[in-house]
Amino acid sequence: MKNKVSIFLLISMIVMGGATTRANDKDFVSRKDRQFIRHGKPYYFIGVNYWYGGMLAIGKDSVRGKERLRKELDFLRSKGVTNLRVLAGSEGRGLVNGVERLKPSLQPGHGQFAPEILQGLDFLLSEMARRDMVAVLYLSNNWEWSGGFLQYLNWNNRISDSTMKSKMSWDGLRDNTSLFYSCEPCMEDYLRQVDLIMSRVNTYTGRPYVEDPSIMAWQLANEPRPMRSAAVANYKKWILSAAAHIKAKDKNHLVTIGTEGIMGTDESADLFREVHELAPVDYLTVHIWPKNWQWFKGTDVNSQVKEVIQRSEEYIAKHVGIAGELRKPMVIEEFGLPRDGHSFSPKSTTTARDAYFETIFSAVKKSHQANDVIAGCNIWSFGGIARPRPGQLFWREGDDFMGDPPQEEQGLNSLFDSDTSTWKLIKSFADIISPKIP
């Protein structure tokens, strides 16, 4: 760590009084130095991304959705999975960046909320509480598939309707999204939705969200990036401001950013360190995307998996060093790999994926045994009992949700309940790492 404390750290220490998160109840997940604590013991876990979990109980067939959710939670718990990363709310409607976005939306119009949508999240949290599971709730999105930052920019006339709907180039997407951090009304709109979610009282349990130990943490957004170097200063200010805002309203829960790591912070280890040393930020996150980052080429994943594993281990090690310096826990909260032959079919094998997952699980296991900083991991992403429609690549309204968001091929990274070899692997590690099922 630098000898000089950054100005952002000084400000955040003033805001937070230099305190770490303290839970009012032993059932909350809290942070003690470089470890999570739950039920009075260090908490390490293998979890999954279940971003659509809060939407299953509010579809046209809510009875079927609730049945599916209960069945999937029972399945996950039987495999030792105790931690779910879930989308708390989406923004807007219609095409965005040339694709269908997630539906239904919590905020379908500018400042126009559909709070009944949160009844699905209420149900998820109530069912998770029955199974002694916890959720990380992310509050918006850097990417277009749930509206996110682009929608706030559109509502505040920073990008036009035609630009919003059209397919942007990568540079165009970066240029546009980076404007969020200098758009004061956009950030105010973001906080308005955050406040709506945080002030929620669960309709099934009667418990306010801020007093619910089935919530582990609030996450600022899914993969917030500065996107352009010119936005870095405002990006840092936004993280401090948003995290402090949440902490001021909720003393029980952890707060984290949701970054991909160095790859998502302008490819700068210094920037990654700076935003995570802020006092309102309780822990570090890392995402690893070998396909998106072109760590392998073509569709022959199996012949290149050794290189993918090596590069992933190197990436993890860089971040473990930073987490150790900051004395904060770290979660590998997104990682995925296509099925063998880059197939989207649930019937295809997962030999390369299993080898890759075993590498990630082994890193968590090693950390658990040494009481070190890697506290857990969340597989991207649980597809549950859903299946891709034959002959159809992308999600359409009315389709069952699975692990792949609407802009990605359905079946690309989904982990289905039928993936027997992968679940056997997960359980073998979870039995060592995670708390035992009562």
Tens digits of residue pLDDT in 338-379: 999 999 999 999 999 999 999 999 999 999 999 999 999 999
Query: In sequence order, which residues have a C-beta less than 8 Å from that of residue 154 and are 6 or more positions away?
Result: 92, 160, 161, 164
Report the amino acid identity of residue 137.
L
Residue 105 · residue 114 · CB < 8 Å: yes
Whether the predicted pLDDT of 335 surpasses 90: yes
Per 3-state DSSP, what percentage of the chain is helix, strand, and coil (rounded to 5)?
45, 15, 40
Phi then psi for residue 233, to 5 deg, are: -60, -45
| Cα distance between residue 408 and residue 145, in whole Å | 9
Band (pLDDT 50/70/90 cuts) for residue 46 is very high
Q: Which residues pair with 91 in a beta bridge?
A: 107
Q: Is 18's pLDDT higher than 70? A: no
pLDDT at position 110, please? 98
What pLDDT is attached to residue 188?
A: 98
Partners of 49 in beta bridges: 85
Intra-chain end-to-end CA distance of the chain, in Å:
41
Extract the tokens encoding 152: 């706030």
Taking residue 214's Cβ as centre, other Cβ atoms within 10 Å add up to 24
Alpha helices, DSSP H, located in 145-300: 148-155, 161-165, 170-177, 184-198, 232-249, 269-276
- Pairing mode, strands 30-32 and 35-38: antiparallel
* Residue 4: pLDDT band with limits 50, 70, 90: very low
- Give me the pLDDT at residue 7, please: 44
pLDDT at 309 over 50: yes
Instruction: Report residue 67 as tokens.
Output: 């049945």
CATH number assigned to the domain with residue range 7-16+25-433, chosen from the 4 options 3.40.50.1000, 3.20.20.80, 3.40.710.10, 3.40.50.970:
3.20.20.80
pLDDT of residue 162: 93
Average pLDDT over residues 110-126: 97
pLDDT band of 23, cuts 50, 70, 90: very low
Does the pTM of the predicted model rise above 0.85? Answer: yes
Q: What is the mean pLDDT of the chain?
A: 93
Taking only the tens place, the pLDDT of each residue in 249-288 is 999 999 999 999 999 999 999 999 999 999 999 999 999 9
- Which of these, 311, 351, 357, 350, lies nearest to 334 by C-alpha position? 357
Cβ distance 306 to 355 under 8 Å? no
